[in-house]
Structure 1
Amino acid sequence: MSSLAPTSLDRLFEPVQLGELRLANRIVMAPMTRSRADAFDAPGDLHAAYYGQRADAGLIVAEGTYPSPDGKGYCRTPGIVTPQQVDAWRRVTAQVRQQGAASTVLQLMHVGRVASRHNQAADAETVAPSAIAARGSLFSDTHGMVPMEVPRALETTEIAGVIEGYRQAALNARAAGFDGVELHCSSGYLPMQFLLACSNQRQDGYGGSLAKRIRFVVETLEALSGAIGAGRVGLRLIPGNPYNDMQDDDPAATYGALLDAVDPLGLAYVQVSRSPQPGLDAFALVRRHFRGPLILNDGFDGQGAAQAIAAGLGEAVSFARHFIANPDLVERLREQRALAGFDRSTLYTPGARGYTDYPALGDIARTQECRP
């Protein structure tokens, strides 16, 4: 954002409306996998503390959560399927409401082929648009690093059931106290697997031409919107993202067509990250094809975020890494205080260390006052 003129950070602290979501400020906590779910894939007291500590954000997008058992890929990631999981998430959203004014959205993340049987329930399986394995490996608590599975290609008749799983997950999220849901359509997960020809070699109504490859995402967003209202549904995109063995030869065409198709739905927002592909301006691409609010993401500091909002590039900015070690990020940005760094070694480890033990400014001051 260095090409934009310096601006006051005040824009970050203005309220904004994203569909049906009312934000007290334009600072969004981005969804981050932290691998702290319990043996039942439910959040616990640590999650309530973690999100409660960050409740000054205008919007919290809670971590990627599987909408159906087949959608789980990583160890210790939560679901929103069973009554136990719904009840556990309800305790988290209650804690956020008690601690601050943040709106909360749950990111729905079906990983598709990015999975291992060692992390899934015994009756779950790895499914995808086509039986093409993603090159790479992931971590299992029981077997260490393991290769990703060769998925079973979904039958055409099964796809409606996968979409129904998303729809029910949205209803479950609302029952758990969330204000909305976000469809994770990036990072090589199931919706993106349908979008791209490298992972979708189907010859039915969900594969082949670009118009057919976007169909799964469009129908899923329609189902989510029908369940809880389009103004409570967000979409997560990173055009040109190669993560998890993805290749898109023309992301401008792919995402332009997708956004043209979903724009009439009236979604709450699109959350878009900078594209890793040189020469592709993902923010401008989405703005050309989507008339609703944008949440910008990836690598922003306070000044850059305020500049982007002032320039009209987006309505809000999401922060991921900065929220890890700065539970009071909103206060630190308002006071223009230095931001703490985080410990990478504890990103995905169980327990409170590196999760809920990062101090806020007030904690630091009290500690200093108590020193002899």
Structure 2
Amino acid sequence: MKLLEKTQLGNINLKNRIAMAAMTRGRTDINGLVGDMTITYYAQRSGAGLLFSEAIRISEEATGSPLTPGIFTDQQIEAWKKVTTAVHDKGGVIIAQLWHTGRMGHSIDRKGRLPCAPSPLPIRGMQHFTSQGRKDFEIPQEMTILEIKQTIKDYGQAAKNAVAAGFDGVTLHACNGYLPNQFLAESANQRTDGYGGCIPNKARFVLEVMQELISAVGSEKVGIKIAPFHSYGDMILDDPAATYTYLIEKLNEMNFAYVELMRRSTNFPSPEHYATDDEIEFFGRKIRQTVIANAGYDKASAEAELEKGIAKLISFGKLYIANPDLPKRFEKNAPLIEPDRATMYGGGKNGYIDYPLWDE
């Protein structure tokens, strides 16, 4: 079984080709500190060749959703050290996913401050989950050039903080409607300066952040997650194929470890003008770095994807919520548990660390 083969990512040896995708679970305290439950949660899942952490806020300004972790205070760094130590003690590898939510936030959970974005364009067609329930999205504040430059520096500092906390690397969360994704999409970016307009300008923010991350912690510790045809968060691009082909060509000129390539979700249909090509086939072959395929895979489809030879690893999200020992279950052809949707986001240990192992 290819999923269970050993492999290498950058200079890190992995015990299998299975990754746990980053998943927001909303279980920190109000200061963005992870606790004992989170230590247990990641330790339980350290049988994966690679763990991606839930999205971690790079700064206070990056805040979007309640009860999500940060990595910009000394206390947050110390809290994450306990998680990474627990994972390493079980022979696991864990990477921090760095997060700025941009316009995907609400002033309720931002101490009254409006979210920031490339342009003052609100998200349409959906609501945001806040600490006071679902709310319509607000019109964000347009970022100044100085704020853009500061945000890029914040990413670099967050990467240094993540390595100090014991993470084995960092990944730029550049999809799912968050800030880097917003710079790429015309539905969020109508700027007329050097960060908007033509495709090279719209891609500039992502490329400058990646260079900052590489400079901060070294090329072998850096990756990026993209989702070219995934429209979640009102991400509508005029020409996503051309935009992401350009982005990938420029990323290919950089020296870093991997690209996690996310397929579109059937829950968020793509606009009619989007290509129908399979993302792994269409974009994966263009990528020079190691490709990690993501979204919607089961054991059979993951094996088939690896057989194609484009992706070297497969990352699983929902399956890992209820199956902390997923590699073992794949190995034994054991039945998989369905997650309880009511406990996915927020709450206590129920639906978080109480799912049984196969041999229990």
TM-score range, shorter chain: over 0.9
| Structure 2, unaligned runs of 5 or more | none
Equivalence map 1:213-292=2 (5 Å) = 213-276=202-265, 277=270, 279-292=276-289
Q: Is 1:159 aligned with 2:148?
A: yes
Q: Is 1:26 aligned with 2:17?
A: yes
Residues 71, 112 of structure 1: 8 Å contact kept: yes
Q: What is the match of residue 104 of structure 1?
A: 94
Shift of 1:249: 2.7
Q: Is 1:48 aligned with 2:45?
A: no
Partners of 1:330 and 1:42 in 2: how far apart? 29
Q: What is the match of residue 317 of structure 1?
A: 314
Amino acid at match of 1:193: Q
Residues 120, 142 of structure 2: 8 Å contact kept: yes
Deviation digits for residues 300-344 of structure 1 (CA, Å, limit 9, x no counterpart):
111221221122020000011110000110100111111110000
Q: Is 1:84 aligned with 2:81?
A: no
Partners of 1:58 and 1:109 in 2: how far apart? 22
Equivalence map 1:125-140=2 (5 Å) = 125-135=114-124, 136-140=126-130
Shift of 1:264: 1.8
Shift of 1:346: 0.4
* Pairing partner for 2:182 from 180, 193, 212: 193
Amino acid at match of 2:91: A
Residues 230, 263 of structure 2: 8 Å contact kept: no
Shift of 1:125: 4.5
Residues 170, 223 of structure 2: 8 Å contact kept: yes
Change (3 A) 1:69 1:24: same
Deviation digits for residues 224-278 of structure 1 (CA, Å, limit 9, x no counterpart):
0011112211111111211111112321111100010111212211111223546
Which runs of structure 1 show a deviation greater than 6 angstroms over 4 or more consecutive aligned residues? none
Shift of 1:121: 3.9
Deviation digits for residues 85-130 of structure 1 (CA, Å, limit 9, x no counterpart):
00001101111112x22211011110100001111246x5411111
Partners of 1:131 and 1:22 in 2: how far apart? 44
Residues 184, 237 of structure 2: 8 Å contact kept: no
Q: Is 1:60 aligned with 2:51?
A: yes
Shift of 1:349: 2.4
Residues 261, 284 of structure 2: 8 Å contact kept: no
Shift of 1:38: 0.8
Q: How many residues align?
A: 351
Q: Is 1:15 aligned with 2:6?
A: yes
Partners of 2:284 and 2:294 in 1: how far apart? 14
Deviates more, 1:263-272 or 1:174-183: 263-272
RMSD: 1.3
| Structure 1, unaligned runs of 5 or more | 1-9, 364-372
Greater CA radius of gyration, 1 or 2? 1
* Pairing partner for 1:210 from 199, 202, 215: 199
Q: Is 1:338 aligned with 2:335?
A: yes
Equivalence map 1:338-357=2 (5 Å) = 338-357=335-354
Q: Identity rate of aligned residues, in percent?
A: 40
Partners of 2:321 and 2:206 in 1: how far apart? 30
Amino acid at match of 2:307: A
Partners of 1:356 and 1:312 in 2: how far apart? 34
Residues 94, 168 of structure 2: 8 Å contact kept: yes
Matched residue of 1:361: which SS? coil
Amino acid at match of 1:173: A
Q: What TM-score do you get using the length of structure 2 for normalisation?
A: 0.95
Partners of 2:128 and 2:115 in 1: how far apart? 14
Partners of 2:11 and 2:279 in 1: how far apart? 25
Deviation digits for residues 1-20 of structure 1 (CA, Å, limit 9, x no counterpart):
xxxxxxxxx21111111223
Residues 9, 290 of structure 2: 8 Å contact kept: yes
Shift of 1:39: 1.7
Residues 69, 121 of structure 1: 8 Å contact kept: no
Q: What is the match of residue 6 of structure 1?
A: none
Matched residue of 2:253: which SS? helix
Shift of 1:197: 1.5
Amino acid at match of 2:130: S
